[in-house]
Amino acid sequence: MSKEKQTIVGVIGLGSMGLGMAQTLAGKGFETLGFDLSDERKALAEKSGVVPVNGIADAFERSTFLVFSLPTAKDVASVVNDHIDTLKNRHGDRVIIIDTSTSEPDVSRELALRLNALDHGFLDAPVSGGPGGAASGKLTMMIGGAEEDVALARPVIEAMAAKALHVGPSGAGNVAKLVNNLLAAAHMITTKEGLKLAFSAGLDPEAALRVLNAASGRSMISEVHFPTWIMSNTFNSGFSMGLMRKDVRLARELAARTGVNLPVADLVAELWADAAELEDKDDFTRMGDFQTSK
C-alpha cells in the first residue's frame, strides 16, 4: 500500500506527540483523520490538513492504518476493546494499528493475538524524539510485531520516523522503549549530579558540559536536553514528569516479573518517585535542575 492510493490513516490522540505525527502524515500526502477529546487539539490539527472526526468509531470504520498516541496501556486496550465490533465487521479489509504509545509488553501481545484472530494487525511501535521529531517526521521508532504487518505499514512508518527498527515480535518494541527511557531517566540524574559536583567545586557548569559532550560521559540527555531545556531554564521539552515516572515504574515492574536484579534501576525509580517538589504535570527536564536541587 502506498500514499499514492490515498491510504487513510487515523490518528487517535492529538497530544504533544500525536498532533505532530498527524500533521506530518497529512503534509506527506496521506489522507489523515484525527481524533482527540480536546476540540482545541482537533482544530489545531485541522489547520494542517488533518480531517477531524467526531468519534473514534469513525476513524476505525474508515482507516486502513490507525496510529495511537495515548497515555497508558489501559487507554490503548480500552480503545481497541470498545471498537472491536467495528474491526470484526471489517473482516477481509485488513486494518493495522500502529501503537506509538509507551505501553506494556503483555498488553500489546494480548491485543496482537486478538486482532490477528480477526485478520487485523497490531504493532507496538513506541517512539523517541519528542514533539520536534514528531512534527518533522524524524522520530526513532522501535517496533514489535509480525514482519508482514511491518512491511504493510512501512510507508506510514517511514513518513513519521527517520529511523524505524523492527526489534522482534509483539511486545519487543515496548520492552526496548522501557529500557531506553529507564536509561534516559538515569542519565538525567547522573548528568545533574556530575554538573552539581562541578559547580560546587568551582568549575563553570557550561564548561563541564562541553567536556562531557566531547568525552565518554556524554549521552543524548547531556547533548540535547541539558543545553536546550535545562541550562536555558526553559524546561519545556514536551515530556512530563508523570510520563517519565510511569515509564520508570513500568521498567521496574518488568524487571520484577522477569526476575532480574537491577539495583541501580531500583534507585533511579525511587529518586524519580520521591522527587515530591516536582508535580506530574511539570516537564521532566526539571529533574535535571542541578542549581536548585538539594
The dihedrals phi and psi of 102, each to the nearest 5 degrees, come to -85, 95
Indicate if the pLDDT at residue 3 is higher than 70: no
Over range 8-31, report the average pLDDT. 97
Share of the chain above pLDDT 70, in %: 97
**What is the reported pLDDT for 294?**
55
Over range 172-186, report the average pLDDT. 97
**What is the reported pLDDT for 293?**
57
pLDDT digits (tens, 9 = 90+) for 208-246: 999 999 999 999 999 999 999 999 999 999 999 999 999
Over range 171-188, report the average pLDDT. 98
Indicate if the pLDDT at residue 105 is higher than 80: yes
Share of the chain above pLDDT 90, in %: 95
- CB burial of residue 234 (10 Å; 0-12, 13-18, 19+): exposed
Tell me which residues are annotated as active site: 177
- 292 or 142, which is more confident: 142
Q: Quote the pTM value.
A: 0.92
**What is the reported pLDDT for 291?**
83
**What is the reported pLDDT for 91?**
82
Domains and their CATH numbers in the chain: 3-169 (3.40.50.720), 175-288 (1.10.1040.10)
Indicate if the pLDDT at residue 5 is higher than 70: no
Indicate if the pLDDT at residue 36 is higher than 90: yes
The answer to whether 10 and 33 have CB atoms below 8 angstroms apart is yes
Q: How confident is the model at residue 6 (pLDDT cuts 50, 70, 90)?
A: low
Indicate if the pLDDT at residue 154 is higher than 70: yes
Over range 182-193, report the average pLDDT. 98
Full DSSP string of 221-236: IIIIIIIIIITTT---
Pairing mode of beta strands 121-124, 127-128: unpaired
Indicate if the pLDDT at residue 1 is higher than 90: no
Q: How confident is the model at residue 2 (pLDDT cuts 50, 70, 90)?
A: very low
Mean pLDDT of the residues in the chain: 95
Q: How confident is the model at residue 292 (pLDDT cuts 50, 70, 90)?
A: confident
- Listed in sequence order, the DSSP H helices in the chain are 18-27, 39-46, 56-62, 73-82, 84-89, 105-117, 130-136, 147-160, 172-200, 205-214, 220, 241-258, 263-274
Indicate if the pLDDT at residue 66 is higher than 70: yes
Indicate if the pLDDT at residue 4 is higher than 50: no
Local structure of residue 54 (DSSP, 8 states): S
